[in-house]
Amino acid sequence: MYIGLMSGTSLDGVDGVLVQFEKPLQAQTLPQTVRAHVHLQFEDSLRLILLELNARGDDEIHRAALAANGIAQAYAQVVERLLTEAGLERGQVRAIGAHGQTVRHQPRSDASGGYTVQLINGALLAELCGIDVVCDFRSRDLAAGGQGAPLAPSYHARRFADPRKHMAVLNLGGIGNLSLLPPDPLDGGVRGFDCGPGNALLDAWCQQHRGLTYDSDGSWAARGRVDAELLDTLLADPFFALPPPKSTGRELFNLHWLQGAIDGIGRALAPADVQATLVELTAASAAQALLRHGPLSSDLLVCGGGAFNGFLMQRLQALLGAVPVSSTAVRGVPPDQVEAVAFASLAEDFIERRPGNLPAVTGARGPRLLGALYPA
């Protein structure tokens, strides 16, 4: 039994799952039973600090350390609720896989190396929960020359691959990332990469202009009109033309980046039209990436918060035409559980001494054991 804890770049809070993986793990479809799922929103003060830490500011070391403590405390609340909901004792859980909160992600291929920062006080989380904690999953892949992201494709392959056809999984969290799954992932060939913004820009623009943390079901965006000039300007960013492996974050896709594009157009835009254009940007960047790098894909499964945005899902389907677009729920995993289960799976990989990365995805020099252990 493992617990997976995920808080992504969307900054909407923590998703936690208590999951049991069945053996053998080498089976093409990974059997799993989710015993409990809990979502906990971040307190407004913590969310604001985390958002601010995505950019340079004063007293960053102190603020980051306190934020890491706050994240550990929020994670511990989720763990307690999971145990209560499942009716289990903490001793029945082998380990917690805790992603932490990404505030900086700067992978590099040059001699200076890169770095990635996921805020989490693993020692405090182990102390609060009395369960072994595995965290810091990305650093070892970076040390081996990889991007450190995305890490979920290995789980996507074991859970969603179909022996009859090529599949694709699109995670629409704050950033969008795409997994391309061949019929037999055990033979290799799984690929994955960040393809562009997910909900980060949509949520930030909605917060700025409507005072709401997100645009429910994309209803505001659906009332606007796509501005073709703005869309072309945004899609011209060099990131979209980069070949995989590649990863990104709020360092690139943020309101400053968006405002620069708006200012360059030199005319006023209605906020709802910008929101509609951002939906089109998210859908178009994902669809173009799939058609370019996964043209054999027969189906697209969507997870993450974006799967609940009906307007965004409609635009994805319209752009992909004959490729069916559906939520991962049709394959038995609700879209808001997928990434948390993926990090529970990575924790099991660590405990069982199995590599957690896919070098073809991240660009690392080879398979590596991912994570650092904080014993209970």
Question: For 27-63, what is each residue's pLDDT tens digit?
Answer: 455 678 999 999 999 999 998 899 888 888 888 999 9
- For residue 112, the model assigns a pLDDT of 66
Task: List CB contacts of 199: < 8 A, sequence separation 6 or more.
Answer: 10, 172, 173, 174, 214, 282, 304, 305, 306, 309
Rounded CA separation 17/97 (Å) = 10
5: helix, strand or coil? strand
Rounded CA separation 125/127 (Å) = 5
Q: Which CATH superfamily is domain 153-331 in?
A: ATPase, nucleotide binding domain (3.30.420.40)
- For residue 55, the model assigns a pLDDT of 81
Average of per-residue pLDDT values in the chain: 94
- For residue 58, the model assigns a pLDDT of 87
Rounded CA separation 63/103 (Å) = 12
For residue 273, count other CB atoms closer than 10 A to its CB.
17
- For residue 33, the model assigns a pLDDT of 92
- For residue 188, the model assigns a pLDDT of 78
**If one looks up domain 2-150+337-374 in CATH, what number appears?**
3.30.420.40
- For residue 317, the model assigns a pLDDT of 98
- For residue 15, the model assigns a pLDDT of 96
Under-70 pLDDT residues of the chain: 24-30, 109-112, 187
The single-letter DSSP state of residue 350 is H
Rounded CA separation 230/278 (Å) = 9
Helix or strand (DSSP H, E) at 175: strand 175-181
- For residue 30, the model assigns a pLDDT of 66
Rounded CA separation 177/283 (Å) = 12
Is the full-model pTM beyond 0.75? Answer: yes
Q: Facing residues of 327 across strands?
A: 302
Q: Where in the chain is the domain with CATH 3.30.420.40?
A: 2-150+337-374, 153-331
- For residue 11, the model assigns a pLDDT of 84
Q: State pLDDT tens for residues 321-361.
A: 999 999 999 999 999 999 999 999 999 999 999 999 999 99
